[in-house]
Amino acid sequence: ASPSTSLSLKSPKSPSNSLVSPKAETQLSELDPETREIAKATSLVRDLETASGSAMRQLLDRASELDISLSLLQQTGIGKAIKKAGKRAADPEVKKKADAIVAKWKAQMAN
């Protein structure tokens, strides 16, 4: 996408308080709900690749709030990213949280 139409999901001022910047939130609010969730999940997948410690815990908290669907899981790979992040994490609580999210989503997809 060109710079004028790109959608940045990271907040440059306060990454710990919001998944998206105010400008991006406005852009996201104009999208249909499924596209909005895909954009958020895609951002999380990217950020989970390099996060550790408290940043990873915050990302997992955000991931657990996603309105998950089979389509979202398939299109973004968020489930795989969370599982991989959990395996990579040094903190046992982060591993536990990642496993719980994946288990919750598997249960949701089974219903």
pLDDT of res. 111:
83
Q: What is the pTM of this model?
A: 0.71
For the chain, what is the largest distance between any 2 Cα atoms, rounded to a whole number of angstroms? 42
CA-nearest of 64, 74, 69 to 44 is: 64
For residue 4, pLDDT over 80 is answered with no
Q: What angle do CA 34, 76, 57 make, to 5 degrees?
A: 100
Burial class (CB in 10 A: 0-12, 13-18, 19+), 84: middle
Gap between the Cα atoms of 36 and 27, Å rounded: 9
Distance CA 93, CA 85 (A): 12
Closest CA relative to residue 56, chosen from 22, 94, 24: 94
Alpha helix stretches (DSSP H) within the chain:
22-29, 33-48, 53-64, 70-76, 78-88, 92-110
Q: What is the pLDDT of residues 18-77, one digit of tens each?
A: 555 677 666 767 778 888 899 999 999 999 999 988 999 999 999 999 989 999 999 999
pLDDT over 60 at 2, yes or no: no
Q: Is the dihedral of CA 106, 69, 108, 19 positive or negative?
A: positive
